[in-house]
Amino acid sequence: MKTNVGGIDKVLRIVVGIALIALAAMGMIGAWGWIGVVPLLTGLFGVCPAYSLLGMNTCPIKKGP
């Protein structure tokens, strides 16, 4: 799959994912907090299946040589 998550989007996904997982692990929010795995993984790998389905892309355009 092509990378479709970039820049600030990637950083926000990672931060939100870690925050949700941490809150769930500490018992501050319910088990739904483990859904933080999804944004964490999409941020780390740079690929969001929902973006692919919707035709979205937040990666900057790479120019050839």
For the stretch 31-50, pLDDT in tens is 999 999 999 999 999 999 99
Distance CA 43, CA 22 (A): 16
Percent of the chain's residues with pLDDT above 70: 94
Mean pLDDT, the chain, whole residue set:
91
For the stretch 55-65, pLDDT in tens is 989 988 765 55
- pTM of the prediction? 0.85
Percent of the chain's residues with pLDDT above 90: 78
Distance CA 56, CA 61 (A): 13
